[in-house]
Structure 1
Amino acid sequence: MQIIITPEQSNRKLERMAYQIYEAFCNEDELIIAGIADNGFLVAKQIGKNLEEISSLKISYCEIKLNKLNPLQEITTSLSTETYASKNIIIVDDVLNSGSTLIYAVKHFLNVPTKTIKTAVLVDRSHKKYPVKADFKGLSLSTSTQEHVSVVCTEDNTITCYLS
């Protein structure tokens, strides 16, 4: 396995993404950051922590639980639909590969009228089979379909990305 993003690099990338998100939402008061469980939610919390340090935005966190192998199964969120109705939402995942996880997560939020939905990923692999893109990304990476990107999040909030 080859390290493609060290913990220090991931911290810088997530901080830069927070600045980009703040630029997009600087005229808003509130933002919901919805991360796809498990790693996507940990990445979302890190982006949110950075946003809280650089802005006055009120940040709410939402964990999205879906079956990545069968995304047609029920999707649940840690926030009620009333909480995110008419709000700005950033949906976060660790790696954008085929786009299926991200597109099904977006589809879930489309059942409720929201103000804006944007997407953010730490690594965009550009192997999409669905028409979904990341509005905010840490790293665009050209890989073969046989290669695998792993994101490892530790308890002390360090994030490392590997290519195998």
Structure 2
Amino acid sequence: MTPATLPNNLILDKAQIEQKIKRIAYEIYERNFEEEELVLAGIYPNGNTLAEMLAAQLRAISPLKVQLLKLTLNKTSPLVDPVEIEPQYFSLTDMPVVLTDDVLNTGRTLAYALHTLLQHNPKKIEVATLVDRHHPQFPVAATYTGYSLATTLHEHVVVVLKENEIAAYLQ
């Protein structure tokens, strides 16, 4: 998005998002301090960027070996194309996994991603999201939430996680 196309309703600025990511990283470490290794599986594009940011924080504050996975899926028609996992041949067997996405709205995207991850027999799966909008239609809840925001069904949260801009907007 260019500055001219961004909505005016800023809900989180760069400093606030960075603070929330740091807090989520500490929470992840607190719940997984007995683990040697942890997988952050980010839903492309923004969930993957969030996973990368969380990985950097976790590496700075803990001895955990953090692995990154990128999940790509068709968010509007998730059954049309299979969920792709990169790297493709990474084993999740008996690994703790934190599935990340920028916004949790209905839980639909996360439910399809969870379905794919469960086929790889992880030890456990937790969910981290930057913004939780509270419109559940699928039985998915965030284990870690940066910002909880009650919105109407007609409002949208836009998260921008780019080098030159980090912010979240309500439109």
Scaled to the shorter chain, the TM-score interval is over 0.9
What is the count of residue pairs matched by the alignment?
163
- Alpha carbons 2:91, 2:120 under 8 Å: kept: no
Give the drift of 1:42. Answer: 0.4
User: Which one of 20, 33, 40 corresponds to residue 33 of structure 1?
Assistant: 40
Q: Which of the numbers 81, 85, 88 marks the counterpart of 1:77? A: 85
What does residue range 84-123 of structure 1 map to in structure 2 within 5 Å?
84-123=92-131
Task: List structure 1 runs of 4+ shifted beyond 6 angstroms.
Answer: none
Q: Which residue of 2 aligns with 1:14?
A: 21
Corresponding position of 1:160: 167
Could you report, residue by residue, the CA deviation over 1:111-148 in whole angstroms, capped at 9, with x for unpaired residues? 12111110000000001110100000101100111111
Contact kept, 8 Å, 2:102 with 2:131, in 1: the verdict is yes
Partners of 2:46 and 2:66 lie apart in 1 by: 19
* Identity value in percent: 39
Query: C-alpha displacement at 1:67, in angstroms?
Result: 0.3
Alignment partners' CA distance in 2, 1:147 and 1:68: 18
Deviation at 1:84, TM superposition (A): 1.6
Residue 147, structure 1, aligned to residue 166, structure 2: no
Q: CA deviation at 1:38?
A: 0.2
Deviations 1:83-107 (A, max 9, x none): 2222110000000011100111011
- Measured on the aligned residues, the alpha-carbon RMSD in Å equals 1.1
Q: Which amino acid aligns with 1:102?
A: L
Task: Give the secondary structure class of the aligned counterpart of 1:83.
Answer: coil
CA contact (8 A) 1:35 1:43 kept: yes
The equivalent position to 1:64 in structure 2, one of 66, 71, 74, is: 71
TM-score w.r.t. the length of structure 1 is: 0.96
Distance 2:86 2:75 in 1: 17
Q: 1:136 aligns with which of 125, 144, 159?
A: 144
Instruction: Give 5+ residue unaligned stretches, structure 1.
Output: none
TM superposition shift of 1:63 = 0.3
The answer to whether the 8 A contact 1:149-1:163 is kept is yes
Q: Which runs of 5+ in 2 are unaligned?
A: 1-7
CA distance in 1, matches of 2:10, 2:166: 11
Instruction: Give the alignment's TM-score, normalised by structure 2.
Output: 0.92
Secondary structure in structure 2 of the residue aligned to 1:113: coil
